[in-house]
Structure 1
């Protein structure tokens, strides 16, 4: 039985923490812009203890980073906990998280990339539905109109007004809308002063029929760091698997997809949601991650939704993990069909 956190209300406190990279230090302008953006939307912010701190490649020691998160988990005023950014080492925190406190007082936990380890670890240990979605600095520090589209998904999925409206209509499925434009243009964050150039969007529905299953997954490279541990939810028969990655070469992507095949994952899942790959390096092959996945599958009939915008690109759509999703490959729609908040 899944545990659900309450929806966010105007005036609620959002706590932010830095489980790996010290973005509050290396991107101070973007950090301030992100804080101001959420405050203008009516939220109070509580800074994690490692805000403004740096230990070279990380914000602090393993224990310091775990303590920072646990302070926010134990604070009854904090109703949502958002990462500032990802990195490479969030999995180190997993043995030290106060899971009992989260069970007692469930709250929204949201982030992406390396924070996949925490989202899946918390779900595996508690049953709490977590959210693959924006990070404070990386996402809400972007310029309009992209940041506004990301916030629109955040508000629609996580805030009380929108969620209550849905419940009053007897909980109809939530249907995702494809953003018209997207970008993975890279600009130095501290020198960026305008919106990024965008390109027309496209989702590919490769398959037939209607697929229903538990939505699970996240950043593929990060999942390798918890695979086989008690913090990686067991892939169940019929799951819909969300996969995304960034800044990787085609050889690494082939290895990662092949790892899943060797583990029997593709024998269990009913469908794959493949997110856009930020700045994918095709090594002059002309191939994309979808091509690599299809080669690894080698004719195995797994339906694929390719190009979904819950990934490192902008804008970013919030995706609950641990809920039921439905992909209609004939009608080309994707919906969340079970409650994700209470």
Structure 2
């Protein structure tokens, strides 16, 4: 049975800790702007020490990062946790996190944070939220896709929430010309399928940034089979992945390793987010990867969805039951908070 945290008050408290990268001093204004925005919206912010530090590709030692996360999860005055952003070395913290006694509390983020999210859900059955990070909430307003994180996290157990594909996405950052909602949404969004035909697929959501979640394979935290048996029974998994930096051959190797490790033994489909990477190797393109995977697994594959490092992105709940449909380039993403 999946446990769903829930925000119930408009004046909730957000805990900010950095289990991967913190914010170096020269970028502290980004955190301060996010804090000011949240305070204007009636939220209380509690910052851990790790949020303000960064050295040697991490905010602090693995033990310090894990301890601060453990403490913030157990702090009843903190209603949800949103790290500043992702990073590189969150995997170091996993052996120090007390998964056996974590309370049911929302953790929201993406990139390296997605490794913590997926591990938490696999280990505990507690739902976690893949979506915006904190610094991208510092604008005067949020775009219609990003802003739905609040609707998702306030959904009741047994309830459902529907999100839709964005109208436009950001091709590249333009830091010299900030917008009221942070992102520069200039390109028309189009969700696609390998077959080119309309697709509808449903299953229990699991996933994250493939660059980092792949490193769970073969570790004590690789509990995909156990998760299916203990928490969702006979229901299939609907995987979602987004690629931050991998070439097409590295992506293919990773997906093959996941397949050989049994991650795709009982699935209904795979969703791939838009990617700033997917760099071709020779004439081996990412569409070749998707087609080969679809043929091997005999499941539908949807790609270029609103997920990951090419904003904006949906808020996707690990453990929720989803129905995803794509037709004429537009997508509908329904999540039911089914136990």
Instruction: State the TM-score bracket (shorter-chain normalisation).
Output: 0.7 to 0.9
Label 1:197 to 1:174 Cα distance change in 2 as closer, same or farther (>3 A).
closer
Question: Secondary structure at the residue paired with 1:149?
Answer: coil
1:182 is matched with 169
Q: TM-score, normalised by structure 2?
A: 0.85
Is 1:223 the counterpart of 2:213? The answer is: yes
Determine the C-alpha separation between the residues in 2 that align with 1:209 and 1:193.
37
Question: Secondary structure at the residue paired with 2:144?
Answer: helix
1:126 is matched with 124
- CA RMSD of superposed structures (Å): 2.7
Q: CA deviation at 1:79?
A: 0.5
Asked if the contact 2:117–2:129 (Cα under 8 Å) also holds between the matched residues in 1, the reply is yes
Q: Deviations over 1:181-208 (max 9, x none)?
A: 01141345xx563452520001124466
Q: CA deviation at 1:60?
A: 0.5
Asked if the contact 2:17–2:69 (Cα under 8 Å) also holds between the matched residues in 1, the reply is yes
Question: Secondary structure at the residue paired with 1:270?
Answer: strand
Label 1:91 to 1:238 Cα distance change in 2 as closer, same or farther (>3 A).
same
Q: TM-score, normalised by structure 1?
A: 0.84
Label 1:40 to 1:8 Cα distance change in 2 as closer, same or farther (>3 A).
farther
Q: CA deviation at 1:241?
A: 0.4
Label 1:24 to 1:68 Cα distance change in 2 as closer, same or farther (>3 A).
farther
Label 1:314 to 1:261 Cα distance change in 2 as closer, same or farther (>3 A).
same
Q: CA deviation at 1:275?
A: 0.9
Question: Following TM superposition, where does structure 1 have runs of at least 4 consecutive aligned residues deviating by more than 6 angstroms?
Answer: none
Asked if the contact 1:22–1:53 (Cα under 8 Å) also holds between the matched residues in 2, the reply is yes
Label 1:204 to 1:185 Cα distance change in 2 as closer, same or farther (>3 A).
same
Determine the C-alpha separation between the residues in 2 that align with 1:26 and 1:268.
47
- What is the aligned counterpart of 1:309 among 283, 306, 309? 306
Asked if the contact 1:8–1:80 (Cα under 8 Å) also holds between the matched residues in 2, the reply is no
1:335 is matched with 334
Is 1:196 the counterpart of 2:184? The answer is: yes
Mark the runs of 5 or more structure 1 residues left unpaired by the alignment: none
Q: Deviations over 1:288-321 (max 9, x none)?
A: x343221344454210121111211221211110
Asked if the contact 2:4–2:127 (Cα under 8 Å) also holds between the matched residues in 1, the reply is yes
Mark the runs of 5 or more structure 2 residues left unpaired by the alignment: 229-234
Aligned residues: 324
Determine the C-alpha separation between the residues in 2 that align with 1:26 and 1:281.
32
Label 1:98 to 1:286 Cα distance change in 2 as closer, same or farther (>3 A).
closer
Determine the C-alpha separation between the residues in 1 that align with 2:168 and 2:313.
11
Determine the C-alpha separation between the residues in 2 that align with 1:69 and 1:87.
16
1:268 is matched with 266
Q: CA deviation at 1:45?
A: 0.6
1:246 is matched with 244
Q: CA deviation at 1:99?
A: 2.9
1:149 is matched with 144
Determine the C-alpha separation between the residues in 2 that align with 1:187 and 1:307.
22
Q: CA deviation at 1:125?
A: 2.3
Question: Secondary structure at the residue paired with 1:224?
Answer: helix
Q: CA deviation at 1:267?
A: 4.2
